[in-house]
Amino acid sequence: MADQHHDPLQATSIVYQMRQDPSPWVRTEYDASRMLTNIHEKRLAAIGVTLDAVLVSTKCGSRYSVSDRFAVFSQSLLLNAIKGESAPD
């Protein structure tokens, strides 16, 4: 019997969907200012990171990406979360 990898994420979760097919997020690209506004106004449901983009899902269902070629935004978001500063809900 082959070793099967069990994904602990629910198939309905946003993170699971981002992993399976990021194209709905990548189709719409915005600049970082939109993401930062959504973070400060607590509109985000989830944030995911790829090799060159940040994937954003809002609470109202919008999906978009922000180019992050050198991981500047993703590193900043992670560092702020570690420090306990403002992060998405």
For the chain, domain boundaries: 14-83
- Is the pLDDT reported for residue 2 higher than 50? no
The CATH number that domain 14-83 falls under is 3.30.720
For residues 9, 47, 50 and 69, what is the CA-based torsion angle, rounded to 10 degrees? -170
CA separation for the pair 40, 50 (Å, rounded): 22
- 42 Cβ contact list (under 8 Å, min separation 6): 88, 89
- Is the pLDDT reported for residue 27 higher than 90? yes
Query: What percent of the chain clears pLDDT 90, i.e. is strictly above it?
Result: 54
Query: pLDDT band at 77, cuts 50/70/90?
Result: confident
pTM, rounded to two decimals: 0.76
Q: Among candidates 18, 68, 20, which has minimal Cα distance to 48? A: 18
